[in-house]
């Protein structure tokens, strides 16, 4: 047998792309539904406490939290290429820094994309819920 073939272990069969995308869609849907439910619950309770229109309170809650997620996604995506070497940083004195790994760069972009997409979807839900505007 060829020594080159013996040195490389056999690759494990990977899951199909269809199954991978289905699992990702399921996780994203759960994230969106749970986030929307919590936002609606908080907005509803604030609307009841203030005595305003519940429909308007829910719409403003979705729009406000969506804008907050857009802002967070922007700042997470603009994180610089330098990271702390140790988790605990001294208040005074030198800080020990290192360059981010390619995996950390990829993770930063992915996290930013999730925040931005969920934020845009929450804003759209807020526009659909708001009865002041006719969408059709």
Q: What is the pLDDT of residues 21-44, one digit of tens each?
A: 999 999 999 999 999 999 999 999
Question: Quick one: average pLDDT of 35-64?
Answer: 95
* Predicted local confidence at residue 69, as pLDDT: 97
Predicted TM-score (pTM) of the model is: 0.78
* Predicted local confidence at residue 83, as pLDDT: 80
pLDDT digits (tens, 9 = 90+) for 103-122: 989 999 999 999 999 999 99
- Nearest Cα to 129, choosing from 49, 51, 66, 68? 66
Which two three-digit tokens encode residue 41?
């619950």
- For residues 98 and 78, what is the distance between their CA atoms, to the nearest angstrom? 17
**β-strand partners of 98:** 83
Boundaries of every domain in the chain: 20-88+96-129
pLDDT of 64 over the 60 cut: yes
* Predicted local confidence at residue 6, as pLDDT: 56
pLDDT digits (tens, 9 = 90+) for 69-107: 999 999 999 988 888 777 666 677 677 788 888 998 999
Average pLDDT, the chain: 87
Q: How many CB atoms lie within 10 A of CB 69?
A: 22
Instruction: Tell me if residue 61 falls in helix, strand or coil.
Output: helix
Question: Quick one: average pLDDT of 48-68?
Answer: 95
Instruction: Tell me if residue 81 falls in helix, strand or coil.
Output: coil
- For residues 131 and 75, what is the distance between their CA atoms, to the nearest angstrom? 32
* Predicted local confidence at residue 50, as pLDDT: 93
């Amino acid at each position: 047998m060829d020594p080159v073939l013996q040195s490389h272990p056999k690759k494990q069969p990977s899951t199909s792309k269809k199954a991978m995308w289905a699992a990702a869609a399921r996780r994203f849907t759960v994230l969106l539904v749970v986030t929307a439910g919590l936002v609606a619950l908080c907005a509803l309770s604030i609307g009841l406490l203030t005595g305003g229109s519940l429909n308007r309170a829910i719409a403003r809650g979705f729009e406000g939290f969506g804008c907050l997620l857009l802002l967070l996604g922007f700042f997470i995506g603009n994180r610089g290429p330098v990271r702390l070497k140790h988790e605990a940083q001294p208040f005074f004195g030198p800080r020990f820094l290192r360059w981010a790994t390619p995996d950390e760069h990829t993770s930063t972009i992915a996290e930013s994309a999730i925040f931005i997409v969920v934020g845009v979807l929450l804003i759209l839900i807020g526009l659909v819920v708001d009865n002041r505007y006719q969408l059709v």
